[in-house]
Amino acid sequence: MRELAPALRAWLAEGRAFAVASVVSTSGSAPRQPGAALAVSIDGEAIGSVSGGCVEGAVYELCLEVISTGQAVLRRFGYSDDEAFAVGLTCGGIIDVLVWPGADGLAGYVESLAADEPVALVRTLPDSEVTPYSPPDRGLTPASPPDLGFTPPASPDLGLTPASSSASPGATRPRLTVVWPARDSGGDPELVAEVRAMLEAGQTGVRDLCSRRVFVESHTPPPRMIVFGAIDFAAALTKVGRLLGYHVTVCDARPVFATPRRFPDAHEVVVEWPHRYLARTPVDTRTVIAVLTHDAKFDVPLLEVALRLDVAYVGAMGSRRTHDDRLDRLRAAGLTDGELAQLHSPIGLYLGARTPEETALSIAAEFVALRRGGTGLPLSATTGPIHSRLRPAV
């Protein structure tokens, strides 16, 4: 819905009533993904799209109805060959669309969108099953509405504080905001943690969380994983990183090894000296850095930069002897004990890993545990909730 933000911002400022239709789930060959939106103002102006044209007219009419009634509706659109002029998706897909009235409390969300800030909008969906769409002349009855009285984020505001002035110019700390329905503004801790995890990963979709069915719409770039060292272990780690929702970059100074063909799962492959690349590329507090070269001429200058950034994780591959030698070199380069304490080396959790794929799994297990407050112990050896309620500061 980010592309609708300028118009919605203007409508709110003018006090114009409007409704928004959001795709909440899809199946089959649906033309648009969850989060696609169409907005209609009280005077009939329309912006955006939910289907690329197939059902826009019907959704437009639903928006006008919601503006009139003030009641949200949840409708399903799918292909139908029963009638030649039936409203449906000719592509054969199915989409569920939530049409909801705009509200003054939505201003905070729209402002975050307009400023291109990471933000999530959480809406509680009706308890009843989604209703198939029927044209108005077939007796359309609005569904019971979810509570859509939005308030600006207060106690559940999950914003991170700005980076300190001493941070490296390459480090930024994004403000992560969650906008909740008014009745949820207290924020159940477990629900807050789950929604924040979706926001950090840039995920949009319907989830059954804490006995509620909610639609979480996230607007944030995915977190970054930067893998230094164009080796077989890096190829395995890029697969895991993409699976976990990271934007994966592989960087190596050797052009013969750093090629897109060798790393098909990486979003980008960079040929550059690692420390120079890291010093100039944007990172934030969600960024994962994996140093797999275990070569001092690459590692030491790179880690001098990495350990002074405000990022989620810095890990370096190598034996314990390599690690001890690396620490001596880094101390000689002027790094403090506090900075060195941020280094995870030898990299990964101890899983007995041997293959590149197993090693990649151990690395991912370590930074996921760090990010989510896990212990790395078997669940069978622990007690209490299996999902951490509190996220540690990293």
pLDDT tens, 163-178?
A: 232 334 444 444 556 6
Percent of the chain with pLDDT strictly greater than 90: 38
In this model, does residue 333 exceed pLDDT 80?
A: yes
208/252 same-domain check: no
What is the pLDDT at residue 167?
36
Lowest mean pLDDT among 117-121, 242-246, 312-316: 117-121
Residue 103 contacts residue 149 (beta carbons within 8 Å): yes
* 379 in any annotated domain: no
* 384 in any annotated domain: no
Domain range for residue 335?
A: 224-372
Last residue of a domain, one of 171, 190, 219: 219
Distance between CA 358 and CA 160 in Å, rounded?
33
The pLDDT tens digits of the residues spanning 362-387 come to: 999 999 999 888 888 888 888 777 65
* 391 in any annotated domain: no
107/157 same-domain check: yes
pLDDT range class, residue 125, cuts 50, 70, 90: confident
How many domains in the chain?
2
Last residue of a domain, one of 219, 253, 277: 219
180/279 same-domain check: no
Question: Residue 213 pairs with which residues in a beta bridge?
Answer: 208
The pLDDT tens digits of the residues spanning 281-290 come to: 999 888 999 9
CATH number at residue 243: 3.40.50.720
Instruction: Return the number of other C-beta atoms located less than 10 Å from residue 159's C-beta.
Output: 16
Distance between CA 300 and CA 296 in Å, rounded?
5
Higher pLDDT, 19 or 167: 19
pLDDT range class, residue 202, cuts 50, 70, 90: confident
120/228 same-domain check: no
pLDDT range class, residue 196, cuts 50, 70, 90: confident
pLDDT range class, residue 350, cuts 50, 70, 90: very high
Return the closest-CA partner of residue 302 out of 239, 246, 252.
252
174/304 same-domain check: no
* 381 in any annotated domain: no
* 180 in any annotated domain: yes
368/235 same-domain check: yes
Lowest mean pLDDT among 201-205, 228-232, 316-320: 201-205
320/359 same-domain check: yes
Last residue of a domain, one of 196, 219, 242: 219
User: What phi-psi label fits residue 28: left (phi over 0), alpha (psi between -120 and 50 degrees) or beta?
Assistant: left
* 390 in any annotated domain: no
200/255 same-domain check: no
What is the pLDDT at residue 166?
33
198/261 same-domain check: no
Residue 285 contacts residue 310 (beta carbons within 8 Å): yes
273/296 same-domain check: yes
Q: State the sign of the Cα–Cα–Cα–Cα dihedral 129, 132, 135, 138.
A: negative
Read off the pTM: 0.62
Average pLDDT over residues 106-123: 80
In this model, does residue 145 exceed pLDDT 50?
A: no
User: What phi-psi label fits residue 334: left (phi over 0), alpha (psi between -120 and 50 degrees) or beta?
Assistant: left
* 28 in any annotated domain: yes
209/238 same-domain check: no
The pLDDT tens digits of the residues spanning 56-92 come to: 888 889 999 999 888 888 888 875 544 333 444 445 5
* 367 in any annotated domain: yes
Residue 86 contacts residue 19 (beta carbons within 8 Å): no
What is the pLDDT at residue 138?
38
Residue 266 contacts residue 248 (beta carbons within 8 Å): yes
Residue whose entry in the numeric block shows the structure tokens 């103002």: 41
In this model, does residue 220 exceed pLDDT 50?
A: yes
77/156 same-domain check: yes
